[in-house]
Each structure stands twice: as structure tokens, then as C-alpha cells.
Amino acid sequence: MSIEVGAIMEGKVTGLTNFGAFVSLPGNVTGMVHISEVSNTYVKELRDYLSEGQEVRVKVLAVAPDGKISLSIKQAEASPQPDEKPAPARPPRAPRQTRPNTWQGQQPSAQPATFEDMMAKFKQVSDDKISDLRRSNDSRYSASSSRRGGRK
């Protein structure tokens, strides 16, 4: 039996490591399921989900040129079989009730701001930020030096 990407098959867990599980597939071939491909939930300890000798259903994710086979258990469970019907689509949501926004933002002025006005505003905001930063650094420095017995 040839191993093809996307194929779903049965296999047997032959070994467990910290990073994943080795699964023996038909045709005397071994692939690996990375710990992130075991379950849709976080897997801290692989032994909580799998045990050696356990039969598992896996999906082939990739076959490397050197023969390494990447497998997934969680994608095999999520993939519908050809004879299974996919889950029906959810009905569309009812539209949200419209409510007025509480934040109105700046109202556009009748005249567009000139370049000089924009530069003056930018300079004012910048100066405010720099003075806040200096005040913060000064208070931090004076508090830390008095605690450690530093220079005054």
C-alpha cells in the first residue's frame, strides 16, 4: 500500500517520546505524529492521550524525500469520510441592533487645517510627551537613588 498525502488510515502506536508518537502503518512503514497534532486541546503529557499498542486513526500530512512520514490524529478525526456528509452550515446571524456610537471622534471643521496649524499641534503634543517622560525619569531616579544610598 503506498502512502499518499491526505490519506486516512489505521495504525498502531509503537513508541512515545516527549515530542510525539511513532505509529506503525500498513506496509511495514512508520510515521510520526507530532505532539501538536494529537489533539485540538493543549497536550502537556502525551501519555495522557496515547499509549503504546493503541490503535489510532491518522491522516498523512507529508512524506519527505528521505522517507519520513508526518501524521496527524486530530486532522484525521476532523476530516469527514467520503460517505459522511459534512456538518450543515450555521444559519446566518440576525443583524445587530443599531445603536448610536458613544464615541464621535473629531468633527470635521469647515476649513481644512493648514500645515502650520498641524505642525504647531504636533509640536505641542511632542513637548507634552517629553515633559511627562522627563518627570517620570526624574521621579524614578530620585526614588531609586535614595533607597540604595546613591548620590544625591
Q: In this structure, which amino acid lies at residue 138?
A: D
Residue 2: CA count within 13 A, CB half-sphere: 2
Three cell numbers, residue 144: 531609586
Q: How far is Cα 53 from Cα 38, in angstroms, rounded to an integer?
A: 16
Going by pLDDT thresholds of 50, 70 and 90, the confidence category of residue 136 is: confident
Look at the chain and count its residues: 152
In the CATH scheme, what is the code of domain 8-78? Answer: 2.40.50.140
pLDDT at 137: 85
pLDDT at residue 109 tops 90 = no
The arithmetic mean of pLDDT across residues 70-80, rounded, is: 81
- pLDDT of 60 higher than 80: yes
pTM, two decimals, is: 0.50
Domain ranges in the chain? 8-78, 111-152
What's the CA gap between 99 and 118, in Å, rounded? 33
117-142: average pLDDT = 87
